[in-house]
Amino acid sequence: MPSLSPLQFTLRSKRDCFLDAEAVLEPLVVDSEQTVGSLYLPQVLQVAVNAEWKRRQFESRLAEVLCLPLLSSDSAVRVVCLVGRGDKNVFSNSACRLIGARVYRSLQSLRISRLTVHPDFLAQMEDSVVGLQAFAEGMRLASYRFILFKNNNKSESKHSILEEVIVPYSGSAMKRRFERALQRAEIFSTATATARDLVNTPSMDMHPKRLMEIARDLAVSGSGIRCRVYDRAEMERLGMHASLSVAQGSQHEPFFVHLSYRPPRSVKSRKKIALIGKAITFDSGGLNLKPGESMNDMKIDMAGSATVLGLFQALPQLQPPVEIHGLFIAAENMPGGSAYRPGDVVRVYDGTTVEVGNTDAEGRLTLADALSYTAKRIKPDAMVDLATLTGAVIIALGSDVTGVLGTDSKLITALRTAAEDAGEYVWQLPMHASYRDLLKSKIADIKNVGGRPAGAITAAQFLERFTQRVPWAHLDIAGPCYAERETRPDLPVGGTGWGVRTLLRYIEQL
Ligand code: BES
Ligand code: ZN
Ligand code: ZN
């Protein structure tokens, strides 16, 4: 399924890495006379390339990429890709990822099928193993295109021209570490692409039942994954009335899905972690109907669950020594004669009564059931929810940054570090104590809305009520789960799969 172009990474010993090179990627070395140092090119071409990058005002800023076609028969190499080194002279992990993505795009447009990475580029990475993984991730993620619904999808896919990347190594130890890095890059980016596909698929196809089926299909024998599905009647018996209220206006039946992964018996599992995703397959707002413009992209309101599913897809290959639970309650939020109403009082799994101040604050109602179920029944060491929860977080942080809030500073720090490694952005918002009063209800235990000011914070404080003292963090991904415009080539327009790589890294660091 995942809409990635096939891209083969081949390891070759340093000595023969340049055989049949078609394009070479190398850092630009500028000495005092402003010339390129060690280009893998005949002398005559070096001069030409030197003149050209200056003419094009290439400034050698960190991760700046310039791919120059060489119109000469003096060399078999047809393109040289210069990479800026900035003033630090080392390539950080995130620079490597960006370089990978930029190079991929440039070579596609130059119709180049094979790229050779110059050993100098790897040598100048902060850490060549981690850097190589980031570089390969960047290339793969830039190749993502969602063309499932395009009629001319065959001719579109012809555009994936770059097929092979040659990576040089020296010594068998390095070879093994590079192999692993490349393998991990493939697993991480495929999982991300899966999440992107789920988010990009329209709600008419990605309805609650479909989302449940995708989870169920992950539980094949030997994968270490199990999947329990609860339908409406079973949810009723469990007491998940808040979620059932959200779902009752829709033609689609809701499902509560509980995935679990256990490491192979030979590995002792160290910790138990739960990941909970918001899974509203379409959010019309319900009777508090959203205005047209705000409704357009609301197929993305299941992005939290898409991230959980993408991540679970990667687990059988990565086999982390951690017990991982993935939970979501899939439902559609629609208006209609049977829809829940503003003013209704609904009962959450843990017994808490909630006054519905606004039917558009539906995600927190489903999460209340899922979080309290997780805390009471699974009792994990930590739980993290991912949710396209509020428009307010976009007002606070814009569309590139995820808001993180929670009850456990260690957990939050670990998530922030993991996000940094993954090249994803998070920023912590405060659980300011006095704002909790905004959720007070006159007729129930709590209200599901706290007003417009600090909307992302009061939403988190609503969720906090259902965490039963289990260390918990909440990731409000309403902004970065979806790219409305392209800000970087590894994040094409549409679903981004935000959090898949952050959480995989978080799990690995446990
Ligand atoms: N799914 C939306 C939040 C959202 C908005 C996600 C924009 C992605 C982009 C959520 O269910 C919602 O509607 N929240 C309301 C809460 C309000 C009624 C308290 C909001 O943010 O306006
Ligand atoms: Zn809503
Ligand atoms: Zn929503």
The 10s digit of each residue's pLDDT in 6-26 is 999 999 999 999 988 999 998
Q: How many residues are present in the chain?
A: 510
* CA–CA dist 60, 81 (Å, integer): 12
The catalytic residue among 102, 184, 347, 364 is: 364
**Ligand 1 neighbour 362 (Cβ under 6 A):** yes
Q: Give the mutation target among 301, 359, 390, 457 for probing the ligand 1 site: most ligand atoms within 8 A of CB.
A: 390
Give yes or no for a contact between 385 and 363, defined as CB atoms under 8 angstroms apart.
no
State both tokens at 505: 């890294």
Give yes or no for a contact between 330 and 305, defined as CB atoms under 8 angstroms apart.
yes
Cα(347) to centroid of ligand 2, in Å? 19
For range 17-40, the mean pLDDT = 76
DSSP secondary structure letters along 314-367: HHHHH--SEEEEEEEEEEEE--STTS--TT-EEE-TTS-EEE-S-TT--HHHHH
Cα(362) to centroid of ligand 2, in Å? 5
The catalytic residue among 262, 271, 290, 436 is: 290
Q: At residue 174, does pLDDT exceed 90? A: yes
Three-state SS at 166: strand
Instruction: Look up 14 and say whether it is catalytic.
Output: no
**Ligand 1 neighbour 36 (Cβ under 6 A):** no
Q: Looking at the CA of residue 288, tell me the nearest atom of ligand 1.
A: 18
* CA–CA dist 459, 257 (Å, integer): 23
**Ligand 1 neighbour 360 (Cβ under 6 A):** yes
- Residue with the smallest CA separation from ligand 1 atom 16 is 361
pLDDT-wise least confident of 110-119, 143-152, 280-289: 143-152
Instruction: Look up 290 and say whether it is catalytic.
Output: yes
Q: Which of 387, 424, 414 is nearest to 508 (CA)?
A: 414
Q: Report pLDDT for 44.
A: 80
Q: Which of 226, 277, 207, 186 is nearest to 498 (CA)?
A: 277
- The whole-chain average pLDDT of the chain stands at 94
Q: How confident is the model at residue 68 (pLDDT cuts 50, 70, 90)?
A: very high
Q: How confident is the model at residue 154 (pLDDT cuts 50, 70, 90)?
A: low
Can you give the pTM of this predicted structure? 0.96
Beta bridge partners of 241: none
**Ligand 1 neighbour 476 (Cβ under 6 A):** no
Listed residues: CB within 5 A of ion ligand 2: 283, 360, 362
Q: Looking at the CA of residue 449, tell me the nearest atom of ligand 1.
A: 19
**Ligand 1 neighbour 355 (Cβ under 6 A):** no
